[in-house]
Chains A and B, each alone.
Chain A
Amino acid sequence: MTASEPLLDRHFLERLERLTIHWQRSFSGLVGGHNASRFSGGGQEFLDHRNFHHGDDLRAVNWRAYLRLDKLFLKMFQIEPRVPVHLLLDTSASMTAGTGSKFEMARKVAASLCYVGLVRLDTIAVQPFSSTLGEGKVAGGGRHRFQPVMEYLQKIEANGASNFDLVVREFIHSTPQRGLVIILSDFMDDRDCLRPLQYLSDYGHELLLMQIYAEEDRTPPWNGELELVDAETHAEVRLQFDDQAREQYTKAFDEYSAALQQLAVRNGGRFACVSTATSLEDVIFDSLVRTRGIA
């Protein structure tokens, strides 16, 4: 993909407008549970206008506009200045290793989720991470704020080694407000990343883990003598690889994915494991919808 090419096309964005990001917990200080009551009606910060429909609160009607245009417009107000949705995007070198475009898929999924949130007037904070938590970008205020988010995502580059322990620690310190944490990563950390994730959940965040993997990450296609280089640590291993070894490798990978899923589900979160061979449409409208991450 070239730098000028957008991550998502217009047609796909139109399809995303029907979706909503779901979370299950009630976070203290926020309207909880679901997204149905985002508008307090009383209003604190003006957000936008929309056409008046029967049943709307007459107090929110812009009467000045009515007098001028002879048409009823409803003023909308944003009542959630705090951040309920955090999107952590893995930018470690492992995301670009091999032939699979995991990082590309992660950026597209992140852009899609941002757009879904913006359409529903959610506020989403996108934060890249590898060994440390990077400087993020807060997106909110409607779909017309999507362009800066997409430009931001396009500029992000993947490098460095992932360190979930450090990243979670930094995140908890910088974000006292609990909310929905969506992590887009391959979770290929040589260290144990289950413990930091458990810690994150214990702190009060609701987890939506999305494991993105390339097919060769799960089923290496090579045979014979291999010289393996870790993309993040550059450590090397030489071994003989055959069909039997391949089965063992795949089994270990699946067990790791199952452990991630178990962690998420056990803590009231959700887990999705998607391959880069899957199309973005299937990821959003199939995998994420089935896990009830969005609806």
Chain B
Amino acid sequence: MSFLNLTLGQFLTLFVAAGGVAFVLYLLDRSRRKVVVPTLRFWTAAEQPTAVVRRKTVSQPWSLLLQLLGIFFLLLAIAQLRWGAFAGKPRDHILLLDTSAWMNARAPNATAPKLSNQPRRSLMDLARRQAALYLRELPGSDRVMLVRVDALATPATPFLSDKIALLQAITDSKPGSTALDLGQALAFAKRTQQLSPNRAGDIVYAGPGRIIQTDEAVPTVRNLRVLPVPDAIANCGIRHVGLRRSRDDSTVWEVYASVRNYGTQPKIETIAIGFGGAPAGAQQLTLPPNADREATFTLRTHAAGLLDVRLSPTDDFPDDNRATLEIPAVNGLTVTVYSDAPDALRPFFGANSRVSAIFKPTAAFNPETTGLVILDHFRPATMPKIDSVWIDPPTIGSPVPIRTHVDKPEALRWSSDQPIAAGLRTKDARPDSATVFEAAPSDLKIAEIGQGPVLVARRTDDGHRLVVLGFHPASAGMRYQLATPLLIGNILRWLAPDAFRSLDLSASSAGTVNAELDAAPQPDSIHVIRADGQQLPFTLNGRSLHFFSGTPGIVRVIAGSHESVYSLSLPGMWTTRWTIPANARRGPPALREKLDNPRDLWQFLALLGAACFLAEWMIFGRMNRLLRRPIAAVSGRLKKAS
């Protein structure tokens, strides 16, 4: 037994003072009363012997006792008398409520409501109920912090003793999209309790304990309590869907889907894909317990649209039975070649499926041409407003001033740090003749001979790019060089990088995403962008790129000439089941624990005090007079009527 608000001395002082006041008031109340009456004629009949009782005598001891008891109980309630051992400061508990994606699964049949018209409860409902039950058993002065845990531990409330606010926060908790990282959550809870000024209470985890395996083990917590949620559910789900454009045909997509059986019984599932609402393929998979199976499909389309991957039959966790990916349209590069000798250039553009070349004579030059234009020994009357490649332009009107012409030049020297010269190492490339340009300081000198640059690239003021070659790539000295098609390829890739960017699409789960890049690019050239344009932070370890997205959505990873689109539409799934430590307590506090905890009695004491005052009022107070009046009136009326 202990007082929370007052010391024993304060309580006794207050009780003696209030009791004394009540006693004095009682004596005054029972003293002689002066009453004005209509007549004295009836009073003489009722007059008693004149031996008046002394004023200081307690004429109604039970009335006084009830009043003193009422004051006593009310003062005890104000002092917050508590049952149990005095334990000093209240405790701070941390309630970790599992809000991982798995909590959206429907509860096992045994816990389903009996009425068939009610929807089956989810694991989240069960966890909420467990958390609310635990909260109800805590003493009123203990504080609780609610933390919603999935891949991240997110505090939903500060340390609160307001159970209504805590219950509301529990009710507002909803399953997220990521898997549970319990180790991180427990570490967070430990740190938070250490920082709290009050005594450390329980660290409570409410959930089924399905966690994602991480490098770090789940830390051991001494004061751990687990509110288990049963989840004996047979589930099969899509783990990953990948799309890659075929290398042979840019209109063909190769679809790869990985399916896992999380249950303990083998299952036969059908995985089907659909594009734009139309079925595009299906396969039947036999899934052993706790094993993955893959299915591949081929999809041919030019158009953009949604690829829908479905797994049937659906189970109690339907979130991972469907994945959706957005396929972009195939954007090829249109190259218009103005040349009076097109045959020499045709082989350079026919080898790449992403390039469609149109050959036109120089006389048919159209300044409204779109895409990329190649001008072979030709200068149009008006400069093109698009990206352009100039092959050996005429002296007058060249976009880059010409310094001189050289016959039989020496071997070309390549600036290998420039992307256009990437991979060009040969020293055997000797064009028949070469035009040497007067390059501006901002120009990129791709190839040079002793007299100066013969291949120059430039970014114009209006945002376009142009490449000027001082030699013909199909000339006798260059035609049979392996460097020539590579040079043309590099030029096209530099002028139109989007058309040559390789694209991977994949559907996976939100949370931490690991992306394997083709090469190890510079971090500056990597962009991880959400659909709303927001840049996401990432880490790069060699060719492995890691980023985190806590919510579903589309994330694009652009690394050099490669782009990966991650459609984070699948739920984050657990990989293993957490083994509850042997020292952890399970379920809400037992009766013995509750008795150990100090328990508030002020509600009952306040009721007792009020009951004492009410009884006093009913037996000795005005209510007695009020009740007596109508009864007397009725009896009098009856008497008169008779």
B33 and A224 within 8 A (CB): yes
Q: Is B191 an interface residue (CB 8 A)?
A: no
On chain A, the residues within 8 Å of B41 by CB distance are 188, 190, 252, 256
B633 and A275 within 8 A (CB): yes
Known contacts A218-B632, A257-B640; decide if A252 and B35 are in contact (CB<8 Å): no
B46 and A224 within 8 A (CB): no
**Cα–Cα distance between A153 and B41 once the two chains are bound (Å):** 29
Known contacts A225-B31, A225-B33; decide if A230 and B52 are in contact (CB<8 Å): no
How distant is A282 from chain B, measured CB to nearest CB, in Å?
11
Q: Is B592 an interface residue (CB 8 A)?
A: no
Give the contacts of A227-256 with B (CB-CB under 8 A): 227-233, 235, 237-242, 245-246, 248-254, 256
Q: Is A104 an interface residue (CB 8 A)?
A: no
Q: Is B222 an interface residue (CB 8 A)?
A: no
B632 and A98 within 8 A (CB): no
On chain A, the residues within 8 Å of B628 by CB distance are 219, 221
Interface of A is mostly: mixed
**Cα–Cα distance between A186 and B53 once the two chains are bound (Å):** 33
**Cα–Cα distance between A215 and B51 once the two chains are bound (Å):** 28
Give the contacts of A191-231 with B (CB-CB under 8 A): 215-222, 224-231
Q: Is B34 an interface residue (CB 8 A)?
A: yes
A248 and B629 within 8 A (CB): no
Q: Is B47 an interface residue (CB 8 A)?
A: yes
B629 and A228 within 8 A (CB): no
Q: Is A19 an interface residue (CB 8 A)?
A: no
Residue of A nearest to B639 (CB): A254
Q: Mark B8-30, 1 if CB is under 8 A from A, else 0.
A: 00000000000000000000001
On chain B, the residues within 8 Å of A188 by CB distance are 38-39, 41
Of B42, B46, B53, B630, which is within 8 A of A225 by CB? B53
Q: Is B59 an interface residue (CB 8 A)?
A: yes
**Cα–Cα distance between A218 and B629 once the two chains are bound (Å):** 9
Q: Is A277 an interface residue (CB 8 A)?
A: yes
Residue of A nearest to B32 (CB): A225
Residue of B nearest to A187 (CB): B39
Interface residues of A toward B: which range?
35 or more
How distant is A245 from chain B, measured CB to nearest CB, in Å?
4
On chain B, the residues within 8 Å of A228 by CB distance are 35-37, 40, 43
Q: Is B56 an interface residue (CB 8 A)?
A: no
Q: Is A261 an interface residue (CB 8 A)?
A: yes
B632 and A219 within 8 A (CB): yes
On chain B, the residues within 8 Å of A258 by CB distance are 640
B633 and A230 within 8 A (CB): no
Of A227, A235, A238, A241, which is within 8 A of B46 by CB? A241
How distant is A212 from chain B, measured CB to nearest CB, in Å?
11
Q: Is A94 an interface residue (CB 8 A)?
A: yes
**Cα–Cα distance between A225 and B39 once the two chains are bound (Å):** 18
A273 and B38 within 8 A (CB): no
Q: Is A97 an interface residue (CB 8 A)?
A: yes
A226 and B35 within 8 A (CB): yes
A246 and B33 within 8 A (CB): no
B629 and A277 within 8 A (CB): yes
B48 and A240 within 8 A (CB): yes
B42 and A253 within 8 A (CB): yes
On chain A, the residues within 8 Å of B640 by CB distance are 254, 257-258, 261, 273
Q: Is B267 an interface residue (CB 8 A)?
A: no
**Cα–Cα distance between A289 and B185 once the two chains are bound (Å):** 85
- Starting from the known contacts A94-B39, A246-B46, 7 additional A-B residue pairs (CB-CB under 8 Å) come to A216-B629, A220-B37, A222-B35, A226-B35, A235-B40, A261-B640, A275-B633
The chain B residues found within 8 Å of chain A, CB to CB, are 30-53, 55, 59, 625, 628-630, 632-633, 636-637, 639-640
Q: What are the 7 A-B residue pairs with the smallest beta carbon separation, nearest first? A: A94-B38, A221-B625, A249-B46, A219-B632, A188-B39, A252-B45, A245-B46
| 6 sampled A-B residue pairs with Cβ under 8 A | A188-B39, A215-B633, A226-B32, A238-B50, A245-B48, A275-B633
